[in-house]
Structure 1
Amino acid sequence: MNDEIVTLASKRCRPCEGDLPPLATERVLALLPQLQPGWHLSEDGRRIERQMRFRNYYQTSAFINAVIWIAHQEDHHPDISFGYNEAHIAYTTHAIGGLSENDFICAAKVDALLGP
């Protein structure tokens, strides 16, 4: 299917056991603008990351629990750190040592939690 027709958030992650190479830089740079502003590529180019702020601990923890639910549904797990009113989410595909489309699919699903 064509990426212009199917949004990232509507896709499902595919199992990745290290059988594919990480996405080429050109593909990463084409997918990144499909996410909400705030996502950026790590300095080493192996992760996409986003820092988010919330009103309080309850909203932060509710958000984190929703991200964990997405990770469980997609079987693709981010690195998460959070405090009272902020959360940091980082996606990479550990099996390939870099980025796969799964990282962008899950990031788009996180964006959907936050709304437009």
Structure 2
Amino acid sequence: MNQLDLTNKQCTPCQGGVSPMTSEVANKYLPLAPGWELRDDATKIKKTFKFKNFIDALALAQQVGNLCEKEGHHPDITIGWGYCSVVFQTHKINGLHENDFIMASKVNTLVDNQIIT
């Protein structure tokens, strides 16, 4: 599997009742989402995007929000002057699922296709 494979996938609804990824599995997925890092004992993935101003950080937060609403998988987003941090976790299982890496890959593609200064 490669990053493009993840980007082409759609998130599948997670109703809970499934086990979260182990840290070993999460570490295998991590290279498919360049720039993201495992956090909180491999229960979350996070990436912070840097900008030259606040308005570009705000624009990315809005674009990520729109993408995630469409996909039905929502991150925690923090913005401030010069940065936008995005954290994915599948809340129903209190850990990571393939959906989190699908969304991280899609966010990377969104950013790669934008001209944000």
Instruction: Say what the alpha-carbon RMSD is for the aligned residues.
Output: 1.7
**How do 1:51-90 residues align onto structure 2 when only pairs under 5 Å count?**
51-90=48-87
Alignment: residue pair count: 113
Provide the TM-score with structure 1 as the length reference.
0.89
Matches of 2:45 and 2:57, distance apart in 1: 20
Aligned residue number for residue 11 of structure 1 = 9
Question: Against the structure 1 CA distance between its residues 81 and 8, is the aligned structure 2 distance closer, same or farther, given a 3 Å change threshold?
Answer: same
User: Which residues of structure 2 form unaligned runs of 5+?
Assistant: none
Aligned residue number for residue 34 of structure 1 = 32
**Stretches (4+) displaced over 2 A:** 3-6
Question: Against the structure 1 CA distance between its residues 95 and 89, is the aligned structure 2 distance closer, same or farther, given a 3 Å change threshold?
Answer: same
| Conserved 8 A contact 2:2-2:32 | no
| Amino acid in the other structure paired with 2:84 | A
User: Which residues of structure 1 form unaligned runs of 5+?
Assistant: none
Give identity over the alignment, percent: 35
| Conserved 8 A contact 2:46-2:86 | yes
Select 2:40's aligned residue among 40, 43, 48.
Answer: 43
Matches of 2:105 and 2:2, distance apart in 1: 14
Matches of 2:44 and 2:92, distance apart in 1: 13
